[in-house]
């Protein structure tokens, strides 16, 4: 019985040492796990902040692009509206004043015609009447020419069905005369490059 009592303190001391070692190991593992968890949480928080910053930058860039696109759209709409307004004004002016210049240029010719018609056609006054008619014809030609209306060349020209209308054919006096206009029965006119009336002609065959 006395021998067991002597060894009891030594056994308890050994148990305490073992418990202390185990507690120390547990504490070390706990500290290590806690440190790893802290590091992981820190890395996760950093990654989240980076992603958030990137997302905010993208949102800001998209917002800027949207504002620019909206501004460009508003400018384009305003420009289109201005163009439409100008076109309407120009069209209205063309409709309202179409032929104004032509009428202005023909008025003097009309005056000369009225003067010529008011003169009696007797004796020596016949010559004056003829001169009056010539003045009317001259003024009319000038007025038409100023407004882009010109006579179609026909006499002696090679027959062109786009500007000449053959109403009669005559025998050609030579090979060079074939398919050429020998006589103009009625003058033709064109407005710039548009035929108003083809020339009525005789053509050698």
Q: What is the pLDDT along the chain (205 residues), one digit of tens a residue?
A: 444 544 555 555 556 665 665 655 655 655 555 555 566 666 666 778 888 888 888 988 898 888 888 888 888 888 888 888 887 887 776 666 565 677 667 778 778 777 777 776 677 777 777 787 888 888 888 888 887 888 899 999 999 999 999 999 999 888 888 999 999 998 888 887 888 889 999 999 8
pLDDT at 53: 84
| Helix (H), strand (E) at residue 199 | strand 199-204
Question: What CA–CA distance (Å, rounded) separates 105 from 140?
Answer: 8
172 within some domain: yes
Number of domains the chain is built from: 1
pLDDT at 159: 93
Contacts of 54 (CB under 8 A, 6+ apart): none
pLDDT tens digits for range 97-134: 565 677 667 778 778 777 777 776 677 777 777 787 88
192 within some domain: yes
pLDDT at 75: 87
pLDDT tens digits for range 118-128: 776 677 777 77
Domain of 176: which CATH number? 2.30.22.10
175 within some domain: yes
10 within some domain: no
184 within some domain: yes
Full domain range(s) for residue 199? 149-205
166 within some domain: yes
Kindly tell me the burial class for residue 136, based on how many C-beta atoms sit within 10 Å of its own C-beta (0-12, 13-18, 19 or more).
Answer: buried
3-state secondary structure (DSSP) of residue 160 = coil
165 within some domain: yes
CA-closest candidate to residue 188, choices 176, 205, 157: 157
pLDDT at 76: 85
Separation of CA 136 from chain center: 47
198 within some domain: yes
Contacts of 168 (CB under 8 A, 6+ apart): 185, 202, 203
């Amino acid at each position: 019985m006395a021998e067991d009592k002597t060894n009891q303190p030594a056994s308890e001391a050994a148990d305490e040492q073992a418990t202390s070692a185990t507690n120390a190991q547990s504490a070390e593992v706990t500290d290590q796990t806690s440190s790893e968890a802290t590091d992981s949480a820190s890395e996760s928080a950093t990654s989240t902040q980076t992603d958030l910053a990137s997302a905010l930058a993208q949102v800001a860039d998209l917002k800027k692009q949207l504002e620019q696109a909206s501004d460009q759209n508003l400018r384009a709409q305003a420009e289109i509206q201005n163009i439409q307004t100008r076109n309407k004004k120009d069209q209205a002016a063309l409709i309202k004043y179409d032929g104004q210049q032509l009428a202005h240029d023909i008025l003097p010719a009309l005056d000369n015609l009225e003067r010529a018609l008011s003169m009696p056609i007797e004796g020596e006054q016949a010559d004056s009447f003829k001169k009056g008619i010539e003045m009317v014809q001259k003024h009319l030609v000038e007025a038409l020419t100023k407004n882009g209306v010109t006579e179609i060349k026909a006499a002696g020209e090679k027959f062109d069905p786009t500007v000449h209308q053959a109403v009669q054919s005559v025998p050609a006096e030579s090979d060079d005369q074939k398919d050429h206009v020998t006589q103009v029965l009625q003058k033709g006119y064109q407005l710039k490059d548009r035929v108003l009336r083809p020339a009525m002609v005789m053509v050698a065959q």
